[in-house]
Structure 1
Amino acid sequence: MIIPFTELAPDTLRNLLEEYATREGTEYGEREIGLDQKVTSLRCQLESGEVVIWFEPGEESVNLVLARELDGL
């Protein structure tokens, strides 16, 4: 289920983006990018519709996914 980012409180959205940006496996290549820059990038992707917040009720988990990955669902 897609959760519109606009329905989250600003602090909740920030915490979600920070948690995602610091997960293992979300490295950004050779150069170091600060947390604020990662969060800003993720927020821009949410605003553009490229990325969506996905809630999986059965697992009670939240993730950010590319919107194009959900086109077939």
Structure 2
Amino acid sequence: MIIPYEMIEPETLKSLVEEFVSREGTDNGYDDALAKRVAQVLSRLKSGDMVIVFDQESQTPNILHKDVARQILSEQDV
């Protein structure tokens, strides 16, 4: 299920994006680098290039490129 980013409270959205850009050791400890990566992801969400997907089975959100999200969702419909 794709969740429009506008439906998420701003602080929750910020936390979700921060968690996303910090995954798998990508956080280098510099706040400005984190802020820059968060801004980039937020920009891509606003442009529609990336989307927030909620997995009902695991009850977790994720951020994916729009094409990847559509592919996954179409495979689940089969």
The TM-score normalised by the length of structure 1 is 0.84
Q: Which runs of 5+ in 2 are unaligned?
A: none
| RMSD after superposition | 1.6
Q: Percentage identity across aligned positions?
A: 32
The TM-score normalised by the length of structure 2 is 0.79
> Does the residue aligned with 2:41 lie in a helix, a strand or coil?
helix
How many matched pairs?
A: 68
Amino acid at match of 1:69: V
Instruction: Output the CA distance in 2 between the equivalents of 1:5 and 1:64.
Output: 10
Higher helix share: 2
Q: Which runs of 5+ in 1 are unaligned?
A: none
Instruction: Output the CA distance in 2 between the equivalents of 1:8 and 1:68.
Output: 21
Instruction: Output the CA distance in 2 between the equivalents of 1:59 and 1:65.
Output: 16
> Does the residue aligned with 1:47 lie in a helix, a strand or coil?
helix
Larger radius of gyration: 2
* Runs of 4 or more above 3 Å deviation: none
